Amino acid sequence: MKLRQFFGAAKRVAQRLWHSVTLPHTLLNAMFVLYVWSLVRNGRRFIGYEHARFGHNGWGMSDFLINYQGGFVRRGLFGEVLLFFAQRYSFHRGSFIWWTCMVCFIATCLFFLVAFLRRRYSLYILPLCFFLGMGVLGNAVIRKDYFMMCGFIPVMWVYARQSVPTVLKYALVNVLLVCTILTHEAIAFFGLPILLLLVFRHHRKSGVLASAVMAALAMAPSLVAFAATLKYHGSREITHAIWDAWLPLIAHESPYSLPVGDTVKSLAWSTAFAVPRHLRFNFFVIDGNISSLVVWMFTFPAIYYIASHFLYAFRKSDEQFTYRHKTVLSAVVLLQWLCLVPMFLVLSNDYIRVCFYWVASSYAIFLLVPLDTLEAAFPRFYIAVVESVNRVFVRVLIPTKATLALMILFIGVSPWTFNIGSYYSTTVIYQALQQLTEWLKPLIENVPLPQLSPL
């Protein structure tokens, strides 16, 4: 009798699972298992290669070696501190940079993973190429991107604490932000505007002019630091002074370290050289008979659509993620894109990294700042504009689970400039099929093929 009851209960559980798990959902889960496994495999291969090679003159490693030995220059704080300790203590500089990047990468991933799990949000968006998958798919784990995010997340966390006194809050926010700006100025584009807006709206009862003055005074140290990085962008003499300070310390660590590092050399680029170069590689490249301008015209709206509608479409209940949540998240995503327009236009060719700044910073703001505070920060006309933009998107493409699932399978971002091969290699569908092929390759290679005689 007990055995019959057991099998009856097991049958009912199996029936519930069968009816609750649909075939499309199962296929999507399988696709993402393959995709994430591919990211892990490729990540281990890439990170292991970087760890073994330690070429200090590459774009990633050399970014951490920029210092102030030739005078104040943008991005020099981390390298100056590292040089100070490297001249006094014996340790492997390459290993220290590698471990710093790995800790920042893991910490960033854990923050978003834990935050999503706590709110019971769907995890499908996290490993995408324009979110946490950027580091592996864009070969950018050994860069300052995750380091910046590890500076930005505490800044927003401190600001969102209601229990912290206002003066202490602004002091902590500025200390964290100034240190991160002086390590890499890109954080100012996606970090300063939202903070200025939040402070401005916090003091809005004082009037527009008084609120603007209060916001400027509250964030004055960060504004000054950002202005300094724009003015002292570097020169040829400074780049040589930076590298000469490191050569006695790193020449024995790697045979690749003797030429001046790529990122260090880029400090000497003039505006007349950098602006046309970035415009050319961003918008006027044709590869595989496809124009980069056309691709970005579709890619940017697609990323906005996914970032702003994904959680709403994949919500587990109507109360978990409401229309109000979607509107506020959309407002943040649109604001962050507008703030990063200079980088998308003329300040960078690394679109996969800039898209990471865009999406990761938007979700960090949304997850850390209370919904009421965020909603009150945006003017009514801006919210109306966001709702109008969303209505246009919804008329074109209704944000259902099926729609979003198809989009996240096929949307990619080129790591640098535009290349059709690198674009599709960052998509979920490509990585999943590549991983499946990797598993099936031993079976396929051992299949005997018939010998065909020539006609």
pLDDT-derived band at 20 (thresholds 50, 70, 90) equals: very low
Give the type of residue at 451: Q
Q: Indicate whether 258 pLDDT > 70.
A: no
Report whether pLDDT(387) > 70.
yes
pLDDT value of residue 307: 96
Residue 261 or 406, more confident = 406
0.75 surpassed by pTM: yes
* Geometric angle at alpha carbon 442, from 437 and 445, rounded to 5°: 95
Does residue 260 carry a pLDDT above 90? no
Tokens at 391, concatenated: 């209505």
- Which residue did the predictor score with more confidence, 317 or 455? 317
d(C-alpha 141, C-alpha 227), whole Å: 28
Domain ranges of the chain: 269-433
The residue count of the chain comes to: 455
Q: Is residue 356's pLDDT more than 90? A: yes
Q: Is 286 helix (H, G, I), strand (E, B) or coil?
A: strand
Q: What is the pLDDT of residue 274?
A: 87
Name the phi and psi angles at 442, rounded to 5. Answer: -60, -35
Q: How large is the average pLDDT for residues 266-278?
A: 88
- Comparing 423 with 444, which gets the higher pLDDT? 423
pLDDT (0 to 100) of residue 12: 58
Q: What is the pLDDT of residue 264?
A: 83
Report the greatest alpha carbon distance in the chain.
Answer: 90
- Enter the DSSP assignment of 417: S
How much is the average pLDDT of 382-405?
92
Work out the end-to-end distance of the chain between its first and last CA atoms, rounded to an integer number of angstroms. Answer: 72
Q: Which amino acid, residue 133?
A: G
Name residue 147's amino acid: F
Across 282-290, average pLDDT: 89
Q: Which helix (H) or strand (E) holds 384?
A: helix 380-396
Name the most confidently modeled range: 186-190, 239-243, 285-289: 186-190
Q: Which amino acid is at 388?
A: S
Instruction: For CA atoms 63, 65, 70, 72, give the dihedral sign.
Output: positive
Confidence of residue 252 (pLDDT cuts 50, 70, 90): low
